[in-house]
Each structure stands twice: as structure tokens, then as C-alpha cells.
């Protein structure tokens, strides 16, 4: 699979994409022993040999992890309040990984970490509409009629929030458990919708992203995504 040379250099950790373009224009980059100065140049990382000042540039291994985020953790690695970060659950040598989207501080469940920017974009940009399923514990007994606005759409702070599907799993007078499917991926979308409806969220867990399920992954643990899962996540509609 061919990629633009500046993108290959950036993903290999040589420099930013813009700085990599400058290296190419200045003639510092060689492909298969020949200097390259054209920014439109494409290479096949599996076959072509790229060097800078005689040093071989090796493609950085791309990593894709599924993590069961516990409540009380942030997804960012840096926090002025010194709260615990999901990154602390990973090996120290993987400090270059970043979260694909977010789960807020008190929410838990499935989240991906990667160093592949294209993968992250595909799963987070609204135009791709990747399915995400949540299991939500609500205070009190709620019925389908009260939850109906979720699938019709709710305005909050000038923004339309909408669930694709809402299903009541069980409930009693003190607590209800519902399953909600989203595709928009807006900030705190699910909590905001329930706030507008005046329904208190007691627990929120993301159980699925696209075809990948949280399943039996223990809280605070991680696993690598399989090649089949990665391919499925990158399919046109998941």
C-alpha cells in the first residue's frame, strides 16, 4: 500500500508532516538510494528503503488497544488536577498512544488507544457515524414513553443530540437499566440528553464500538485488537 513520503516520515516519528516536507524539499531524503525532492512522491513502506543522511527510516509499529476504562480516570495523559489517567494502565513504553475519542471522568467501559491517526479519525469523525452502544443505569423507574425524545432528537446548548436506538433492559421503582446506541459521538452527548429530560444517571458504561464488544475484559485491563477487528472497524459502515 503506497503512502505519501511526508506522511511516512511523520508516522515514523522523524518530524511533523510539515517539517518532513521541508526535509524532502531540501533533498535530505533518499528513496532506494536516490534523492527525492518532489512532495507528491509516494512509496511502499514494505518494499522501498527510505534514508535521511544515510540513516534508515523504519516505519513505526502501529498499535491498536482495547481498554476497559474504570470510572475515576481521565482519557488525557496530562491533567492540571493530577487525576489518574487511563494511560497509567498501559506499559510505560507505550506513552505515545492516545485515546480514540473520550469517555468522561465518571463513565467506564470500552475505549481504544492507538498511534494511528487515520484509524482515530475514522472512528471519531461524525461523518463516519461509527456505532457505539452504552448500558446506562438510571435513577427511578422510566418507561419507553419518557425515553422517546432520545430518538426524536433533543436540543441542548444549540446542538441537536440524538440516539439511534433506546431499549429498556430492566427496571423497578428505584432503578432502570437501558441500552442506548449512538452514532454522533458529541461531547458528553448521552449524559446531556438525560440531563435535559431530568433523569439522573447513576452509572454509564460503553459496551461496544462498531463490531468490537467489551465482553469479559476486566476493569482496568487492556488487550490488542485483532487484525479482523481492525479491518471491521475500518469498513464503510460499522
Helix (H/G/I), strand (E/B), else coil: 34: strand
> What are the residues facing 175 on neighbouring strands?
139
Residue 130: burial class (beta carbons within 10 Å; 0-12, 13-18, 19+): buried
118 part of the active site:
no
Q: How far is CA 84 from CA 73, 100, 166, in A?
A: 5, 18, 32
Q: Which residue's C-alpha cell is 489517567?
A: 85
Q: Which of 48, 53, 104, 156 is catalytic?
A: 104
- Alpha carbons 209 and 123: distance in angstroms, whole number: 9
Give catalytic residues, as residue numbers: 104
Amino acid at each position: 500500500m503506497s503512502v505519501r513520503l511526508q506522511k511516512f516520515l511523520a508516522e515514523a516519528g522523524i518530524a511533523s508532516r510539515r517539517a518532513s516536507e521541508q526535509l524532502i524539499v531540501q533533498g535530505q531524503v533518499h528513496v532506494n538510494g536516490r534523492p527525492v525532492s518532489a512532495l507528491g512522491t509516494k512509496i511502499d513502506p514494505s518494499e522501498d528503503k527510505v534514508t535521511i543522511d544515510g540513516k534508515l527510516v523504519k516505519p513505526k509499529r502501529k498499535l491498536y488497544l482495547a481498554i476497559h476504562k474504570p470510572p475515576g480516570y481521565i482519557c488525557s495523559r496530562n491533567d492540571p488536577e493530577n487525576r489518574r489517567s487511563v494511560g497509567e494502565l498501559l506499559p510505560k513504553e507505550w506513552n505515545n498512544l492516545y485515546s480514540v475519542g473520550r469517555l468522561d471522568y465518571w463513565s467506564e467501559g470500552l475505549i481504544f488507544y492507538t498511534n494511528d491517526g487515520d484509524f482515530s479519525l475514522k472512528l471519531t469523525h461524525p461523518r463516519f457515524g461509527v456505532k457505539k452502544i452504552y448500558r446506562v443505569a438510571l435513577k427511578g423507574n422510566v418507561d419507553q414513553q419518557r425515553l422517546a425524545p432520545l430518538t426524536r432528537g433533543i436540543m441542548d446548548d444549540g446542538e441537536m443530540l440524538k440516539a439511534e436506538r433506546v431499549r429498556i433492559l430492566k427496571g423497578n421503582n428505584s432503578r432502570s437499566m437501558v441500552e442506548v446506541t449512538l452514532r454522533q459521538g458529541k461531547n458528553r452527548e448521552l449524559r446531556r440528553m438525560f440531563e435535559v429530560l431530568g433523569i439522573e444517571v447513576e452509572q454509564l458504561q460503553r459496551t461496544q464500538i462498531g463490531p468490537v464488544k467489551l465482553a469479559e475484559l476486566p476493569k482496568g485491563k487492556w488487550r490488542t485488537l485483532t487484525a479482523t477487528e481492525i479491518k471491521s472497524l475500518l469498513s464503510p459502515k460499522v
